[in-house]
Amino acid sequence: MSNLSGAPSRTAEMTSLLARTAEIASQANRNDLVARIDALMARVQDPTMRVVVVGQFKQGKSALVNALINASVCPVDDVVGTAVPTIVSYGATASATLFTEIDGIEGVQAKDIPVTRLKEHVTEAATEREGVRPVRVEVAVPSPALAGGLVLVDTPGVGGTSQAHSASTLTMLPGADAVLMLSDASQEYTDPELAFLKQSISLCPTVTCVLSKIDPHPHWRQIAEADRRHLSKAGLDLSLLPVSAAMHARAVHMNDAVMDAESGVPQLLDLLNTQVVDRVIDQTSIAVGQQVLSVVDHLSLALESELQVLRNPSEGDGVVRSLRGAQASAKALSEKSATWQQTLNDGIQDLTADIEFDLRDRLRNVGREGELLIDDCDPGDAWEEVGAWLADSIAQAVGDNFVWAHQRSEWLSGAVAEHFAIEGAVDLPQFRLSDTDGVLNPIAGLERIETGALSVPQKFLIGMRNSYGGVLMFGLLTSLAGLALINPISIAAGMVIGGYAYRQEAVQRLERRRNVAKVAVRRLIDEAVFQVGKESRDRLNHTRRLLRDHFTVVAENLRRSLNVAIASAQAGADADPDGGIRRITELEVWETALRDLVTRVKALEPVAPLAETAAS
């Protein structure tokens, strides 16, 4: 969840608050509520802060991870890049585990591998085996930088159409505590990078931009200023830190503190251990406050009902009738035909159709733009540029589709929660879509086409073939004037006709190349729709199961709370005067304890407005 050691006082207060809430719920015999608190307690006490390092290909992500942990773990290569997500965490001894999917075997398979041979498994140069797909690699390293709970995730480059596709990286962001977006100092931010930044912020609000590889680029300061202008123009209020992993490595080797400070790596570590941790703890405190207030609402329902009857016995029948009406509504929520179940099922069906249409529409637009691009160039000469543009465009389209699906899923969760208004504030499930095993299946690359370049002998043969007819035709005509079959006039006419025919054939060859290129683009788009569509449907099914299970528990908790409240109200109505006075005293102690919980929630920044609203 987060490295909560950065703010021990707030962490201790959240832990203490949850423990006290669980104690009160246990004393009230509400073990169902205790289970919810225990799950959140595990999240608060989890010492890890998951930081996902993202960026386009060859931006220095692996080198930065190595610099942050002062160890050469992630393979760094000038040619091949990372192809499999690599999760680096603390361990007493160095170890690595490869997780793969194997055709015909259910689930993800784990296999220990040597840390020194990671390059053979996580890079584009890795040996491929038919039917075996690497999912991720988890590496444990005895690095002091990781001892506090920091977990770094080295991701494949975004913008490609292989396993390193940006959709695979986007799936990791909803479960991340922070994101480091790398862009090297060789050039300013590109449009695909800014688009990916916007997608990242939609999934993980805690994003920090890193300008990498500043040491080989003397004009990095101008690039940094240009990048800040791009961020401002795009409406992205993000910090940008210049960093050099190579300079940090030299500084550590030479024990040069001044050079190390110039590398920017220590400042980035400080940022992760201070500002990022504070933001993460703020988000955690919100979740803690919501959970505590939800438990207080459940317990207060029975307590206030019994107190009201004990203090005003004449109102007993009215209180019980009101609770029974609420009980009927809660019972309806627990049935399979409940309206929230219908809202969920209809919402998932609509969402699946909308997401599939949106994906097809986005990719068809990419295909149309790609065909227009092909019409304006010779695909034989510019095929690599066309392929790079298609890779970025498909990545952006798939990423936008994924982000929209995630946002729509959150909206659907809120729509289902509205059916539980009787309970008051309802905690919503967290969409940690990265928990699902597997990544985007490989998309077949763009097919290669002929360049159209002709050798000198080929050009000579084409010219001779096309000029032969002209020489023969004009030779026969001029032979009527007594000239030889091959004469200067027939040769000149053959050269003119041959040149014209050669140019016409060149146009036809270009048109054929364009048609072949368009077919290749359409096949690539169809492959992307097929693979991404399958992944999208699987994730929406995961969302449906997540919401169904979550709100089923909410409905059961609400039903039980109302049953307890009715029993308490009836017990209050049947109590004798002396026993009623003693019971009022006991309940007032409980009431004071619940008010104390609300007061402590108010003190948890930044949830004071939420606490005040719930208390009112």
pLDDT of residue 323 exceeding 60? no
Whether residue 100 contacts residue 112, with contact meaning beta carbons closer than 8 Å, is answered with no
State the Cα–Cα distance between residues 294 and 614, nearest whole angstrom: 9
Give the pLDDT of residue 606. 59
pLDDT bracket for residue 575 (50, 70, 90): low
Give the pLDDT of residue 331. 60
Domain final residue pick, 263, 283, 304: 263
Is residue 176 located within the same domain as residue 86? yes
Is residue 544 located within the same domain as residue 611? yes
Is 491 within a domain?
Answer: no
Q: What are phi and psi of 532, to 5 degrees?
A: -70, -35
pLDDT of residue 464 exceeding 60? yes
Is residue 167 located within the same domain as residue 259? yes
Is 276 within a domain?
Answer: no
Is 184 within a domain?
Answer: yes
Peptide bond into 8 cis (omega under 30): no
Is residue 240 located within the same domain as residue 309? no
Tokens of 277: 């941790």
pLDDT of residue 611 exceeding 60? no
pLDDT bracket for residue 528 (50, 70, 90): confident
pLDDT of residue 329 exceeding 60? no
Whether residue 486 contacts residue 471, with contact meaning beta carbons closer than 8 Å, is answered with yes
More confident residue, 320 or 252: 252
pLDDT of residue 174 exceeding 80? no
Q: What pLDDT, in 10s, does the model give residues 45-85?
A: 776 788 999 988 888 899 999 999 998 888 887 767 777 88
What does pLDDT average to over the chain? 78
Give the pLDDT of residue 502. 67
Measured CA distances, 52 to 354, 410, 427, 483 (Å): 29, 22, 26, 83
Is 592 within a domain?
Answer: yes
Residue type, 611: A
pLDDT, mean of residues 537-556: 83
Q: What pLDDT, in 10s, does the model give residues 179-218?
A: 999 999 999 998 888 888 888 888 887 899 999 999 888 8
Is 4 within a domain?
Answer: no
pLDDT, mean of residues 309-338: 61
pLDDT of residue 267 exceeding 50? yes
Is residue 164 located within the same domain as residue 308? no
pLDDT of residue 441 exceeding 80? no
Give the pLDDT of residue 242. 94
Is residue 543 located within the same domain as residue 412? yes
pLDDT bracket for residue 612 (50, 70, 90): very low
Total domains in the chain come to 2
Residue 205, Ramachandran bin (φ over 0: left; ψ between -120 and 50: alpha; else beta): alpha
Is residue 220 located within the same domain as residue 302? no
Is 273 within a domain?
Answer: no
Q: For residue 392, what are the domain limits?
A: 292-421+523-615
Is 21 within a domain?
Answer: no
Q: What pLDDT, in 10s, does the model give residues 116-135?
A: 888 887 776 665 666 677 78
Is residue 56 located within the same domain as residue 163? yes
Instruction: Write out the H or E segment, with its range, that includes residue 294.
Output: helix 277-311
State the Cα–Cα distance between residues 559 and 97, nearest whole angstrom: 45
SS3 at position 35? helix
Lowest mean pLDDT segment, chosen from 37-46, 166-175, 186-195, 420-429: 420-429
Range among 133-142, 292-301, 417-426, 440-449 rated most confident: 133-142
